[in-house]
Amino acid sequence: EVQLVESGGGLVQPGGSLRLSCAASGFTFSSYWMSWVRQAPGKGLEWVANIKQDGSEKYYVDSVKGRFTISRDNAKNSLYLQMNSLRAEDTAVYYCARVLGEFVVVPAAPDYWGQGTLVTVSS
Amino acid sequence: SYELTQPPSVSVSPGQTARITCSGDALPKQYAYWYQQKPGQAPVLVIYKDSERPSGIPERFSGSSSGTTVTLTISGVQAEDEADYYCQSADSSGTYLVFGGGTKLTVL
């Protein structure tokens, strides 16, 4: 059974930093692209970032470029999101998600999602 | 930036057919995916590659594509289908993912 468990969310002041983690199990982590997707309170889903199986390619939505960094540790079956220079508009539930398809070259869509971790940016 | 457009809300009576549309300029070149999200829960993939249904998803869920519009169809809607539905695809380069704004399905 595929399981994705996020952690690391919490309350942070504007301009602060936070590191989210996602522990994966139930599948061969190193064979899949992985994603972070967020959802602001009462709003829709927003893709944040993708990372390739070996970490060699990373893509970000424009609003987080230069502030957020996605990374992974295949030995630990873990995905990370380092978030710096946080803003009030970054307040959201952050979901870790596996991308559909083993060994795919181009990421298409998430298929399995974690339950999310809430990040609140406020003074 | 690339956008996918969905109606904010759709309402149907139990047993009727619900159709939720999603439009975007790159949809003729990129597959569409559909997610169901119930309050307080993570999204669940219900349709992939325009019209494929993952295992465990009821047959009443189907997807179709025509030009720049894709459609999620729920036949014989049940009360448990009341949820938010999101379409998702990629820009023309296939690099950046994008979600539609979501459609709230109300079962009257």
Digit-coded pLDDT (tens) for A49-104: 999 999 999 999 999 999 999 999 999 999 999 999 999 999 999 999 999 888 88
Q: What would the mean pLDDT of B4-14 be, rounded to a whole number?
A: 97
pLDDT > 90? residue B93: no
- The structure tokens listed for A102 are 């083993």
Ranges A93-107, A108-122, B10-24, B54-68: which has the least confidence? A93-107
Residue A83 CA, distance from chain mean position:
10
Residue A119 has pLDDT above 90, yes or no: yes
Residues 14-33 of chain B whose Cβ lies under 8 A from any Cβ of chain A: 31, 33
Do the Cβ atoms of A95 and B101 come within 8 Å?
no
**Confidence bin at B9 (pLDDT 50/70/90):** very high
Q: What does each C-alpha distance from B101 to A34, A42, A65, B84, B85 come to in angstroms?
A: 22, 12, 22, 10, 9
**Structure confidence at residue A102 (pLDDT):** 81
Span A25-34, pLDDT tens digits: 999 999 999 9
3-state helix, strand, coil in chain B (%, to 5): 5, 45, 50
Distances (CA, A) of A58 to A62, B12, B49: 13, 41, 23
What share of chain B in percent tops pLDDT 90? 93
Q: Which chain A residue lies closest to B8 (C-alpha atoms)?
A: A44
Using an 8 Å CB-CB cutoff, list chain B residues near A37.
99
A114 or A108, greater pLDDT: A114
User: Residue A36: which pLDDT band, with cuts at 50, 70 and 90?
Assistant: very high
State the average pLDDT for chain B.
95
Interchain CB distance below 8 Å, A113 and B42: yes
- pLDDT score of B92 more than 90: no
Region of residue B40 (phi > 0: left; psi between -120 and 50: alpha; otherwise: beta): left
Mean pLDDT, rounded, for B13-22: 97
Task: Write out chain A residues lying below 8 Å of B35, CB-based.
Answer: 45
Instruction: Give the pLDDT score at A15.
Output: 97
Asked if B55 reaches chain A (Cβ–Cβ under 8 Å), the answer is: no
What is the per-residue pLDDT for A21?
98
A121: tokens are 């940016």
